Structures are given as C-alpha cells and as structure tokens.
C-alpha cells in the first residue's frame, strides 16, 4: 500500500484518498482573512473541490452571484442565508444548494462566528497556492469596495434594513 501522512498536520493521503482530520481547525488549514471572513482551501478531487469560510460575528455580505453551483454545509454557528430578499436561519447541520448564477447573501447577526463548508462539483485549475493568491486579490477588492461604501457589517446598515429587521426578529443582539 502506498500512502503518505503529514504527522501533526491533520492531513493524510493514501492512494486515492485524502483526509483532513479537522476542517474547522484554524491552525491546520491555510487561509486568508477577508472582510467576508477567513477563507481557505480544503480538498481538490479529480472533478470536485471544497473550501471553507469562517464568517465573523455581525457580518453582512450582500447578495451576489457565483459562476458555479455549490452545496454549503453549516458546521458550527448560526447565520442567515439571503436570496431574492428571502431569509433563512441556518444552523449547524443545515445544508443548501444554489444554482450557478443565483445571487446569495450571508449575514451573521450574532457575536459568534459561523463556519461553513463549500462543495463545488466543478474543479478549477488552481492549486492551493493559486487559490490563496486569488483570495489575497479578493481581500484587496473587498477592502476597496468597503472604502467605496459597500457594507460588510450589520452595523453599517440602517436600522430599517431588512437584514437588521430579520435579525431583531431572531432576538439577535446588536441588530
């Protein structure tokens, strides 16, 4: 049997198998801190891939489309999915799919972060380093957008904004 283990890293590879012992462990997974949260690559298969986002408390990320479909699993924390101005509270264990091009927004109206796994049925050509480089560019673009007025925190929205109204309905502090 051919295999390699990176002892202490939490990443194990056997022939045809890759294991990440704890996808939510920030010390074991490379990432980039952006205004949308801490984002990093996890696994790439032959025709699929997965990455994670740890969204900070009180995050607001307006609806925006993505070029590929995704399946998103909530590992820990509570957050709100928004699409077409409809909102749904997502909790640990919740799972959803969105079609390519469907705008989705993400809101965390609680002080605790939320950790999600994103699974894509398409595999891009970037390796982990290429994905991290992309994330560094994303970080710069988001910071520029923020400077130009795009909100990334619920507190940057008016009290009447639907995200804040929904959060108050959940009993969320600070909304």
What residue spans define the domains of the chain? 25-169
Q: pTM of this prediction? A: 0.88
Q: Is 41 exposed, middle or buried (0-12, 13-18, 19+ CB in 10 A)?
A: buried
Does 7 or 57 have the greater pLDDT score? 57
pLDDT digit string (tens) for 125-139? 778 889 999 999 999
For residue 8, give every residue at least 6 positions away whose Cβ sits within 8 Å of its Cβ, in sequence order, or none: none
Instruction: List the structure tokens of 126.
Output: 């970037």
The span from the CA of 78 to the CA of 86, in Å, is 17
Candidate CATH numbers 3.10.350.10, 3.40.190.10, 2.60.120.10, 3.40.50.920; the one for domain 25-169: 2.60.120.10
Mean pLDDT of the chain: 90
Lowest-pLDDT range, 44-48, 110-114, 132-136?
A: 44-48
- 17-26, 42-51, 78-87 — which one is most confidently predicted on average? 78-87
pLDDT at 64 > cutoff 60: yes
pLDDT digit string (tens) for 11-38? 777 878 888 888 888 778 889 999 999 9
């Amino acid at each position: 049997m051919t295999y390699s283990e990176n002892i202490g890293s939490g990443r194990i590879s056997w022939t045809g198998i890759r294991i990440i012992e704890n996808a939510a462990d920030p010390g074991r997974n490379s990432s980039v801190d952006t205004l949308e949260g801490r984002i990093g690559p996890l696994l790439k298969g032959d025709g699929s891939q997965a990455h994670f986002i740890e969204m900070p408390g009180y995050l607001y990320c307006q609806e925006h489309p993505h070029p590929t479909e995704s399946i998103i699993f909530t590992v820990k924390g509570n957050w709100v999915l928004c699409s077409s101005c409809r909102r749904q509270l997502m909790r640990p264990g919740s799972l959803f799919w969105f079609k390519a091009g469907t705008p989705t927004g993400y809101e965390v109206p609680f002080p605790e972060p939320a950790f999600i796994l994103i699974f894509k049925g398409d595999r891009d050509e970037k390796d982990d380093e290429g994905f991290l480089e992309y994330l560094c560019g994303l970080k710069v673009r988001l910071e520029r957008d923020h400077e130009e007025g795009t909100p990334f925190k619920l507190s940057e929205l008016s009290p009447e904004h639907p995200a804040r109204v929904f959060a108050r309905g959940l009993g969320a502090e600070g909304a």
